[in-house]
Amino acid sequence: MPYDWLYLFSAWDSGYYYSLAANWYPSSLAPIWAYFPLYPACIRLLGLLGLDLMVAGLLVSNIAGYVSIIMFQKVGSTYLDKSSLLSATALYFLSPYVFVFTSVSYSDSLFLLLSLMTWYAHIKGRDFNAAIFASLTALTRAYGLLILIPLGFDFFRRRQFERLGFLGLPIATMAVWMYYGSFKTGSIFAPFTAQSYWTSTIAVQIREGIRLLLIDGDMRVFQLLQRFWIAAIFGIMCITFIVWLCIRTWRTDRSLGVYSFTFLLAMILVVGTFIQNFISLPRYLSLVFSNGLSLRTKRRWLLSAVLGLFAVLDLMAWWMFLFTENFH
């Protein structure tokens, strides 16, 4: 590393993004194809301008993170009064997963920024711009196309059927990326097929155990799952809390509520299918900005207490990101 302190911002997936920025994608199917191209492309572009790649990665993620705060407030001002908006902004961006992963060298902050810009352009009536931002969102993370769900729902709800054509641009963008992956590797779904490389031995065992439970009534899978009881309890609590936020989001704006619920169901389906991603489920769900708008309170004592708690949890979360296997 060019500077010793950079290790504080680089762990887990950071190395893969730097590798893509330096060497781009290989000509054969490999695990690294699971990572989408926009964030490493931004790093690579700054690298071509002479900036060290690790510094460039940190710069991109942090600029996107800070601008996300501004865009969050612009979007939130449509739905919330000033006091509620300040509360939601503080609670959302200081919550541990958002705080850590919009600060380190990950693509999360770029995804959050682009999804916010997509929705902001939409509510301002600039749907062509929204389609462009949605296309960039789709190139940032595998679940980027989910932003089309609230857009499409809003078009139907407002009977703006002529605007549905704008949704074709992000879909076409994803199709071009799939074609590029197919051209390079011979696999038409290379970015998604590559996910199978990340399946751990324990994930295979759990999937097989579940299959035997459903087919033969074999109960041994529960013995295997006993070692994950703490993660299971935390996961259930997390999902319950997210469901509550989804309900509040639905009451604020039905289109955003559909986005929240769709994102939750999609992530549960993905984690249930691949299993190896269950540790990252809270991080995926934290990227839903619409739920952030529902993370608010007008009780000052409660706001102060939660922010104080988050300040402690943020430091613990960052330490866990760097030195444990339970926060990534």
Q: What is the mean pLDDT of the chain?
A: 89
> What are the DSSP E strand ranges found in 44-113?
none
pLDDT bracket for residue 21 (50, 70, 90) = very high
Burial of 166 (0-12, 13-18, 19+ CB in 10 A): buried
CB 131 within 8 A of CB 172: no
CA angle 54, 58, 63 (to 5 degrees): 150
pLDDT value of residue 253: 93
Task: For CA atoms 63, 143, 150, 167, give the dihedral sign.
Answer: positive
Asked whether the predicted pLDDT for residue 191 surpasses 60, the reply is: yes
Note the pLDDT tens digit of each residue in 232-264.
777 778 888 999 999 999 999 999 999 999 999
pLDDT bracket for residue 274 (50, 70, 90) = low
CA dist 246 and 248 (Å) reads 5
CA dist 207 and 213 (Å) reads 10
Write down the pTM of the prediction: 0.92
Closest CA to 272 of 235, 237, 233: 235
Note the pLDDT tens digit of each residue in 133-186.
999 999 999 889 999 999 999 999 999 999 999 999 999 999 999 999 999 998
